[in-house]
Structure 1
Amino acid sequence: MAQELEEARRMADGGKAAQLRLLFCGVGVFPTAVSRTCAALKSYPHILVDCLPLDEIAEKIHEYDMCVCRMGNLDRKTLLKASRLKLITQFGMGLERVDVETATEMGIKVGRIPSDSTGNALSCAEHAIFLMLSLLRDQKGLTKSVQEGSLGIPEGRTLFGCKVLIVGYGNIGKELAPRLKAFGVRVLAVRPSWNQMYPIAAGSENVMKHSLVSNGTIPMDDFVDEKGGMEHLHEFLSRSDIVVLCCTQSPKTVGMVNEDFLASMKMVEISSPSDVSISRSLCILFPWLPVDKHSATGGVLSVVYNPGALLVNVARGGLMDYTAVSEALKSGHLGGLATDVTWVEPIDPKDPIVHLPNVVVTPHVAGVTEYSYLQMGQLVADAALQLYDGKEITGLEFVN
């Protein structure tokens, strides 16, 4: 009966539905995504916005015209029930939870929000630098010193003089590179293919006013000291002090940070000093590393394993093999991990990896800034209004 009434209202309005229903998948995750979108739709009561728990999506998705998937898995079984759905998007870039092939079969358009036209990429770039500094300055050690009333410890390291490898030099990478150059960093980058010029997405003019890259077109390699294809990855890994993951998750990249990847990463060269005080200082700076507490002569402390390079992830947790990363951290071959994304989200607070002294975890907030969310909320609202009016949907980056 409800469907018949809806059809009657549709025909009375010249074929246009009385309302458009927009679904956000998940409750209690990325809450400002919903509030920013609702604020942009405040003057349009015919667009109804709902949030559903993940376990109710499959049962009720047939009631919605548009869906923002967030953490929801829109698999084939779920999409086959989505008889009314016309558009799926993400409040960001990642669409790995969407069965695009089935959506295409169902006549459902799937699109992501371009990160370069919303401030998402530059927000992620800033967060990547925050994560680097958190490891270099030993964030956990700093907190411990404050709690213990200590002063002048721990001694940190500088970003200045480091070699930083950007894995996946796309929108985030091109925002990250110029910011790193300001710190006195040598930037290396790999991507599947390189083009001299990279066009800016339509509608990005407002963001580009505040970007560190040029307007109109972006010279992608202007801030990169060494660039290479994916075939150069392991050679670049061996020479980098910090490795930043900025690539998309796909069947080819899932678990790419495995034993081979980690084995290729650089070990920082610190010779074992004969001076007891210097040896003790190294043990304080890198407490997780195995050490010889006494040498055969004179009881002098000496470092057995040098601290490894640092890994930063602002992309997807699935890029990392959990076991390989955990073992490399414990052995000291991987000097530290700072990640905004984890293997399972949210990560279990009791997960042992969270409590390692050389690990910093943030709750998937790299792109969650007032600057980016205001613009992404407006873009989702615009797409809903265009869908309701039967107009061409602009501003999204469609994948089918």
Structure 2
Amino acid sequence: MRLLIGFDEYPLDPFNELLPGWDIERTTPERFPELAVDADVVCPIAATVDSDLLKAGRFGLVQQFGVGLEKVDVDAATAAGVWVSRLPGDVTGNADSVAELAVLLTLALGRRLDEARQALRNRVWAQPVGRALFDGTAVIVGLGSIGLAVAKRLSGFGMRLVAVRARPELGGPPEIERVVGVDRLPEVLGRADVVISSLMFGEHNRNFFDANAFAAMKPGALFVNVARGGLVDEAALLAALESGHIGGAGLDVHVVEPADPGSPLVNHPKVIATPHVAGVTEQMMQRSVIAFTDNLKRYAAGQPLQWTVNEPSQVAQRRPQG
């Protein structure tokens, strides 16, 4: 069995240890389409799996190392008889890891960490005046596994929590005071001291946070995005920061990745930016490798897969032969 991983910096030793006898290769997203044609299983990570590759390849499983499938044409995979599976954040520890970074960014922005460190270097004492989280209101947009993990952590700081989700009738855990639908977004944004984006991204919600959304936010509100960069109109966010309407932004994800370190948004004095590391923790890696390889063993043995997002009808044509 041959596995191709679409990221050339992932260590292969854990995969080799748990998948003895497999031929495992990693590559760049750019070379991924060329090499994926002869693979039995592909793991795109940051690479694209489109209809052309699905037609050309013989692989029968697209197994993502994480939850994001925005670069995988799931409909085309289903039509081609290819399974598509992801690793849920609550299984791998990704959700907890991402939630921790969301809290870190929120605290760093509120307490003006960069300015405080500069004040120390300048021998300025007891400055700047920061903003504590207690008695504040946080709006969590997206209440999947990451949003729930964020809520659990922020509740411990004494914050009032409001959540926005596509199906508000599903409600939320006790620590969330209100759960509303997307139609109520402008209303709740206007009451938030902190807005945290934890939405699942798709073309249907590209630029979800646009100029109108930022204008609806409470003056001085903090904005944190630990979901996907495509959810944010970055030009609109930069304008809102420049005007002072948005008090600060914490961005772990960016529209173009790797992000340009010289861009006006990344370098803005009110922005704390990180290079998509929210989920990259030792715990997440260990749990993900185990879940990932377990599912590949199921596939090789012809057993039912876990965490699939589709149900192709022609899977027999793509079954591995040994």
* 1:371 aligned to which of 274, 279, 283: 283
TM-score by length of 1: 0.75
> Corresponding residue for 2:113?
139
> Corresponding residue for 2:258?
346
AA at the equivalent of 2:35: K
Describe the SS at the equivalent of 1:180: helix
1:86 is the counterpart of 2:60: yes
Q: Distance in 1 between matches of 2:280 and 2:262?
A: 25
Deviation at 1:150, TM superposition (A): 3.6
> Corresponding residue for 2:296?
384
8 Å CA contact retained: 2:37, 2:53: no
> Corresponding residue for 1:50?
25
> Corresponding residue for 2:168?
194
Q: Distance in 2 between matches of 1:40 and 1:59?
A: 22
AA at the equivalent of 1:340: D
Q: Distance in 1 between matches of 2:143 and 2:64?
A: 21
1:240 is the counterpart of 2:192: yes
> Corresponding residue for 1:263?
215
AA at the equivalent of 1:67: V
Q: Distance in 1 between matches of 2:261 and 2:23?
A: 35
- After the TM superposition, which residues 1-400 of structure 1 pair with which residues of structure 2 at under 5 Å, given as runs? 20-28=1-9, 31=10, 34-35=11-12, 38-39=13-14, 41-42=16-17, 44-82=19-57, 84-195=58-169, 220-267=172-219, 308-394=220-306, 396-400=307-311
Q: Deviation digits for residues 233-278 of structure 1, max 9, x if unmatched?
A: 11000111110001111122100111111110011xxxxxxxxxxx
8 Å CA contact retained: 2:90, 2:96: yes
8 Å CA contact retained: 2:64, 2:85: yes
Q: Deviation digits for residues 193-230 of structure 1, max 9, x if unmatched?
A: 13558xxxxxxxxxxxxxxxxxxxxxx33111121111
Q: Deviation digits for residues 343-377 of structure 1, max 9, x if unmatched?
A: 10010111111111110011111111111211111
AA at the equivalent of 1:113: L
Deviation at 1:121, TM superposition (A): 1.0
Q: Distance in 2 between matches of 1:361 and 1:245?
A: 14
Q: Distance in 2 between matches of 1:150 and 1:342?
A: 34
Stretches of structure 1 lacking an aligned partner (at least 5 in a row): 1-19, 198-219, 268-307
Deviation at 1:189, TM superposition (A): 0.5
Q: Distance in 2 between matches of 1:257 and 1:231?
A: 14
Deviation at 1:159, TM superposition (A): 1.0
8 Å CA contact retained: 2:198, 2:226: yes
Q: Distance in 1 between matches of 2:18 and 2:185?
A: 50
AA at the equivalent of 2:70: E
Deviation at 1:398, TM superposition (A): 2.3
AA at the equivalent of 1:390: G
Q: Distance in 1 between matches of 2:107 and 2:231?
A: 22
TM-score by length of 2: 0.92
Q: Distance in 1 between matches of 2:169 and 2:21?
A: 44
Closer/same/farther in 2, CA of residues 99 and 356 from structure 1, 3 Å limit: same
Structure number with larger C-alpha Rg: 1
Moved over 4 A (4+): none
Q: How many residues are aligned here? A: 311
